[in-house]
Structure 1
């Protein structure tokens, strides 16, 4: 069974990341280049954690646990790779291996957040 609310959030999040990657030379903090670099790099972790959580929640209960985990983790990792490749072709943007690592950390954190939320949900029947 697919959770369409989270599927819409997951698709929107994926499209938003793709759109944000298309903006040439995006700056978050204009006064300090090193601070801007730190903020934009660290933003990868929570963004991909939320995206991972949304994708796991969207397909919760729709397929075998191991299959779902494999498809979401590999799919998001491949999306991260394609996003960095896409950024390399945008004027003023560059691809970075560290961004891929930060994306993967976010994906794993989203996976663990989903697991914790799912366990609490099963114990207390919250949602």
Structure 2
């Protein structure tokens, strides 16, 4: 029982962070078009992480741990949270709800699903290690 409750703690903390960020009025910066791009990337990232956290919590607590069920619950939860977050923003000065943002958040949820699928379907651990080594090489290039 305690493990079941603890598996939802990261979801609660992440949802609280999203709620807090949505409560901040006037989040625009002086970055021009980059402001919009960075905010939309943040939307995708927040909801990809939310999907992964919810997926993990559901897989630890649901009576049915079958993958389609777990994914369906995680997607529905995450998309409904995105919609409720936009509704919440209608009460924040300088903010407003946006159907487009719900769509972008949903794209984030699908990104999380894709990341999970990629992780699960890399055939062996060795290939996962190679994948992350290649990723690290791309990010941190050593001088010649």
Separation (CA, whole Å) in 2 of partners of 1:68 and 1:3: 15
Could you state the TM-score of these two structures normalised by the residue count of structure 2? 0.71
Matching residue of 1:110: 112
Q: Deviations over 1:26-53 (max 9, x none)?
A: 23xx323433223212211111111111
Matching residue of 1:25: 26
Cα RMSD over matched residues?
A: 2.7
Q: Is the Cα–Cα contact under 8 Å of residues 57 and 114 in structure 1 kept in the other structure?
A: no
Matching residue of 2:42: 43
Separation (CA, whole Å) in 1 of partners of 2:56 and 2:124: 17
State which structure, 1 or 2, has the greater radius of gyration over its C-alpha atoms.
2
Could you state the TM-score of these two structures normalised by the residue count of structure 1? 0.80
1:124–1:39 distance in 2 versus 1, CA, 3 Å: closer
* Alignment gaps of 5+ in structure 1: none
Is residue 65 of structure 1 aligned with residue 67 of structure 2? yes
Q: Name the structure, 1 or 2, with higher relative contact order (CA <8 Å, separation 6+).
A: 1
Q: Is the Cα–Cα contact under 8 Å of residues 56 and 111 in structure 1 kept in the other structure?
A: no
Q: Which runs of 4+ in 1 moved over 4 A?
A: 1-6
Q: Which moved more, 1:16-25 or 1:63-72?
A: 63-72
> How many residue pairs were aligned?
123
